Chain A
Amino acid sequence: MDPIGPENLERLLAKHGGALVLYARQWTAAAEDVVQDALLQLVQQRRVPENVVGWLYRAVRNGAISAARSEDRRRRRHRLVADRSTSWFKPADGTNLDAAAAAEALKSLPIHQRETVVARLWGGLSFGEIAKLTGTSSSTAARRYQAALAAMRERLRVKCPETKNFRPN
C-alpha cells in the first residue's frame, strides 16, 4: 500500500484525533505533541500498516509512556498544573453526565483500566486489538473494561432505569 496521503491523514485526524489525545493524556500532559509525533511517524512509513488505527494507538501509547518517563520532576509539576487546567471532554449536550466529573472518574481508575476504556469507548478498538496493544488477552481486556465501567458508574452514581440495585445518593 502506498504511503498515506493528506486526505487520509485529515480524515484520520478528524475521526480519531480527540480519542488519541485523550488516550495519550492517560500518561502525559503533552498529549498533543505525542499524537502529532505518532501521525508524523505514520506519514513517514513507506507502507501504510494494515490496521492504521491500531498502529496509531500503539505509537501514541509508546510515545506517551516514554514522554512520561522522560519528564523530570520540575517539568512534571508544571505539566500537572497545566493538566489540571485542561479539560478532557468537550462540554456535553444532551447527556446527563457532567464532562468534568466523568473525567475525574476516569482519572481515578488504574492506568490499565483507563487505557482500556479510552481505547474501547472513544477509539472504537475491539478487545482483540486492545489485547494486542496492552499485551494481555482479550478476555482480560474485556474484564478490565467491565470493571472500569462499573467503577466509573459507581463513582458518578449514574441513575439508570434498568438498574435493579440502584442506590440513591
Chain B
Amino acid sequence: MPRNEELPAELKAFEAELASLVPEDERLDRARLLFAAGRASARVRSRVVARAWAAAAGAMTVVAASLLVALLVRPEPPVKIVEQIASAKDGVAGTKQSGVPEDPGVVEAKRSGIPDYPLRYPMPEEPSVLAAVFFGAPDHLASPLRLSRDYPGLRDWTLHEGFDRGPRPTVHRQATTPKPPEPKSYRELLNEWVKTNG
C-alpha cells in the first residue's frame, strides 16, 4: 500500500498547504444538535426501561397462564380414606399381646357398654401446598402439637388447643334393646282384674 511518505515532495508541500484550510462549519448548529442528541439518548433510555417492563410483564403473564393451565388440567387427587377400627375386644387382645397399658377411654367404654370407642375420628384434610401458601394451614395443623389418636396425645392436644377446636369424635352406638316392662304391683293387678271381671 502506498503510504503518505511516498508522495512526491512537491505534493507533500501542497498537501500541507491544503491541510491548513479549515472546513466551514458555521451552519452546523451545535447547541441544537446537542439538545437533539440529549433528547435522543433519553428516548433510548426510556425505550430500554419500557422494554424491561414489557419483558417482566410478559414473563409474569406466561407464569400466570402456566399456573392456570396446570390448575385446570391437573388430575383429581386420589381420595385417601383412613379408617381405624379398634373394638374393646381387640383392645384387650392387643393389650395382652403387646403389653401396652390399655387406653383409659377404651376401658371406660367397655365398662359402659359403648362399643367401638374411640373408633373414628374425622381425619383432618391435608391441604395442598398451593392452598397452604395462599390460605395458610388449618388451625389444628398449625398447632405445635400433633393431633394423635391415643389418649395422652388427645389430652395434650385438647389442653393446648382447647376442646372446641378439636375434632368431633363420631361414635357409632348400637341401637339399644327396649327394656322389658317392669312387674306391676299387686294393687295394679287388682285394679285390672276388677275392671275386666266386674
Measured in the bound complex, the distance between the Cα atoms of B24 and A18 in whole Å is 6
Measured in the bound complex, the distance between the Cα atoms of B17 and A87 in whole Å is 18
Measured in the bound complex, the distance between the Cα atoms of B21 and A90 in whole Å is 7
Instruction: Known contacts A21-B25, A36-B28, A36-B33; decide if A97 and B17 are in contact (CB<8 Å).
Output: yes
Among B34-42, B57-65, B184-192, the one that faces the other chain is B34-42
* Majority secondary structure, B binding face: helix
Among A51-59, A65-73, A158-166, the one that faces the other chain is A158-166
Q: Is the CB of B34 within 8 A of A10?
A: yes
Tell me, yes or no, whether A109 is within 8 Å of chain B by CB. no
Q: Is the CB of A9 within 8 A of B23?
A: no
Q: Which residue of B lies closest to A13 (CB)?
A: B30
Q: What's the nearest-Cβ distance from chain A to residue B41, in Å?
A: 5
Q: Is the CB of B1 within 8 A of A158?
A: no
* Majority secondary structure, A binding face: helix
Contact flags A101-125 to B (C-beta < 8 A → 1, else 0): 0100000000000000000011000
Instruction: Known contacts A17-B28, A17-B30, A138-B1; decide if A149 and B18 are in contact (CB<8 Å).
Output: yes
Q: Which residues of chain B have C-beta atoms less than 8 A from A88's C-beta?
A: 23-24
Tell me, yes or no, whether B163 is within 8 Å of chain A by CB. no
Measured in the bound complex, the distance between the Cα atoms of B23 and A18 in whole Å is 5
Q: Is the CB of A162 within 8 A of B13?
A: yes
Measured in the bound complex, the distance between the Cα atoms of B24 and A143 in whole Å is 27
Measured in the bound complex, the distance between the Cα atoms of B26 and A21 in whole Å is 10
Q: What's the nearest-Cβ distance from chain A to residue B33, in Å?
A: 5
Q: Which residue of A lies closest to B47 (CB)?
A: A44
Tell me, yes or no, whether B80 is within 8 Å of chain A by CB. no
Q: Which residues of chain B have C-beta atoms less than 8 A from A138's C-beta?
A: 1
Contact flags B3-47 to A (C-beta < 8 A → 1, else 0): 100110111111101111111110111101110111011011000
Q: Which residue of B lies closest to A98 (CB)?
A: B21
Could you tell me how many residues of chain B have their Cβ less than 8 Å away from some Cβ of chain A? 35
Contact flags A15-40 to B (C-beta < 8 A → 1, else 0): 00111011000000000100110011
Q: What's the nearest-Cβ distance from chain A to residue B155, in Å?
A: 71
Contact flags A68-95 to B (C-beta < 8 A → 1, else 0): 0000000000000000001111101011
Measured in the bound complex, the distance between the Cα atoms of B18 and A22 in whole Å is 14
Q: Is the CB of A149 within 8 A of B7?
A: yes
Instruction: Known contacts A13-B30, A88-B24; decide if A39 and B37 are in contact (CB<8 Å).
Output: yes
Q: What's the nearest-Cβ distance from chain A to residue B126, in Å?
A: 53
Q: Which residues of chain B have C-beta atoms less than 8 A from A128's C-beta?
A: 1
Closest 3 CB pairs of A and B: A18-B23, A18-B25, A22-B23
Q: List, sorted by A's number, 18 A–B pairs whose CB atoms are closer than 8 Å.
A: A13-B30, A17-B30, A21-B28, A22-B23, A35-B28, A36-B33, A39-B33, A40-B33, A40-B40, A44-B40, A90-B23, A97-B18, A121-B19, A127-B3, A150-B11, A153-B10, A153-B14, A160-B14
User: Which residues of B come within 8 Å of A, CB atoms?
Assistant: 1-3, 6-7, 9-15, 17-25, 27-30, 32-34, 36-38, 40-41, 43-44
User: Which residues of A come within 8 Å of B, CB atoms?
Assistant: 3, 6, 9-10, 13, 17-19, 21-22, 32, 35-36, 39-40, 43-44, 46, 86-90, 92, 94-97, 99, 102, 121-122, 127-128, 138-139, 142-143, 146, 149-150, 152-153, 158, 160-164, 166
Q: With contacts A163-B10, A166-B10 known, what are 5 further pairs, Cβ within 8 A? A: A22-B24, A44-B44, A149-B11, A160-B10, A160-B13
